[in-house]
């Protein structure tokens, strides 16, 4: 069986982002970019399923500008077999929304015919947490979101997914093909070794324009402005527990 993994290039998780002075967005020029951490987990899971013999091929896909090819190379260096790059240059005022990405990924899925699509549960830049669910809805496939464990039964064409939900861990069973989104605790992604990075350079990245997929990528959201969150007023360092209790009782009045 075949697994399709969607990856996104985002500002590195450790970067403290700054809002642009013109308030049109956050500064992304000359900022370190990386693969979205949840997407790394998705790639890792697909590779583990392949290594366990449950899948024959892992295809990585992304939607984004030319530089997103770096992210696909990372996925290939981790071990993905080949990649699909849907080229799209972003207009900051009319961002590419999860619905458009989901429609593009549906078109890719219809071409590639995977048995399983794995995505991250959310991108750490827009924090939307939508694409996987939308893709599942558009394909009319079942969904297993926020997965912390995936067990595939290729014979019965079923996946058992343990999900991280508000009250604890929920277990559900899905008919394949299905869409699964990853939570942090699904696995620990591997590092790409140098030989694998070299090998990845010869792997194929297929480039596609959204128009070739016949997808309308209208955006129904207009960014009006982006602001810094309100600053908290400076706090004080206290010297003792007594002082702390006194402040909480008499100054903050929360005890």
Partner 1 sequence: MAAMLVGALRRGSGCRGGSRLLAQSLRRFVSTLVVAEHEGGFVKPSSLSALAAAEAIAKDNKVSVLLGGSGPALHKAADHAASSHPLVSEVLVADSEALAHPLAEPWAELLRSVQQKGGYSHVIASSTSFGKNLLPRAAALLDVSPVTDVTAVKEPHVFVRPIYAGNALCTVKYTGEEPCMMSIRSTSFSPTTEAMSETKVAPITQVDLSFLSEGKSSWVNLTSQDTERPDLANARVVVTGGRGLKSAENFKLLEQLAEKLGAAVGATRAAVDAGYVPNDLQVGQTGKIVAPELYMAFGVSGAIQHLAGMRDSKVIVAVNKDADAPIFQVADYGLVADLFEVLDELLKKIPEKK
For partner 1, which is the closer residue by CB, 17 or 66? 17
- Asked if 135 contacts 102 with a C-beta cutoff of 8 angstroms, the reply is yes
Tokens of 247: 């402040």
H or E segment to which residue 242 belongs? helix 241-246
Q: How far is the CB of 248 from partner 1 (least distance, A)?
A: 7
Provide the minimum distance between the beta carbon of 43 and partner 1 in the complex, in angstroms, as a whole number. Answer: 18
Return the CA Rg of the chain.
21
How far is it, in rounded angstroms, from Cα 170 to Cα 158? 17
CB of 109 to partner 1, least distance (A): 13
* Residue 66 CB, nearest approach to partner 1 (Å): 23
| DSSP run (H or E) holding 71 | helix 68-78
CB of 206 to partner 1, least distance (A): 25
**Closer residue to partner 1 in complex, CB, 60/217:** 217
Q: Indicate the residue among 202 and 240 with the shorter CB distance to partner 1.
A: 240
Burial (0-12, 13-18, 19+ Cβ within 10 Å), 66: exposed
Nearer to partner 1, 1 or 69 (CB): 1
C-alpha pair distances (Å), 93 with each of 10, 123, 219: 17, 18, 10
Cβ(43)–Cβ(189) below 8 Å: yes
Output DSSP code: residue 61: E
Output the smallest distance, CB 24 to partner 1, in A. Answer: 10
Cβ distance to partner 1 smaller for residue 18 or 207: 18
Taking every pair of C-alpha atoms in the chain, what is the biggest distance, in angstroms?
69
Tokens of 234: 């400076």
Identify which of residues 38 and 152 has a Cβ nearer to partner 1 in the complex. Answer: 38
Choose between 69 and 173: whose C-beta lies nearer to partner 1. Answer: 173
Give the nearest distance from C-beta 197 to partner 1 in angstroms. 27
CA 232 to chain centre: 30
Phi–psi pair at 123, nearest 5 degrees:
-90, 140
């Amino acid at each position: 069986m075949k697994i399709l993994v969607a990856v996104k290039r985002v500002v590195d998780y450790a970067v403290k982002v700054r809002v642009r002075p013109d308030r049109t967005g956050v500064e992304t020029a000359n900022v370190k970019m990386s693969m979205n951490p949840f997407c790394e987990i998705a790639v890792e899971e697909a590779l583990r399923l392949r290594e366990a013999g449950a899948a024959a091929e892992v295809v990585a896909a992304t939607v984004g500008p030319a530089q997103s090819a770096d992210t696909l190379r990372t996925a290939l260096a981790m071990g993905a077999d080949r990649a699909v790059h849907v080229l799209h240059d972003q207009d900051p005022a009319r961002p590419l929304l999860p619905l458009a990405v989901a429609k593009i990924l549906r078109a890719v899925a219809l071409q590639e015919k995977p048995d399983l699509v794995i995505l991250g549960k959310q991108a750490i830049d827009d924090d939307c947490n939508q694409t996987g669910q939308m893709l599942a809805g558009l394909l009319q496939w079942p969904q297993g979101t926020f997965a912390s464990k995936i067990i595939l039964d290729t014979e019965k064409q079923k996946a058992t997914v343990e999900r991280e939900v508000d009250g604890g861990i929920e277990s559900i069973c899905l008919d394949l093909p299905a869409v699964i989104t990853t939570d942090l605790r699904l696995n620990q992604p591997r590092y790409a070794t140098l030989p694998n990075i070299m090998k990845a350079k010869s792997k194929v990245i297929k480039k596609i324009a959204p128009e070739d997929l016949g997808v309308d990528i209208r955006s129904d959201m207009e960014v009006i402005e982006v602001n810094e969150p309100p600053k908290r007023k400076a706090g004080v360092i206290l010297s003792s527990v007594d002082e702390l209790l006194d402040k909480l009782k008499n100054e903050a009045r929360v005890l």
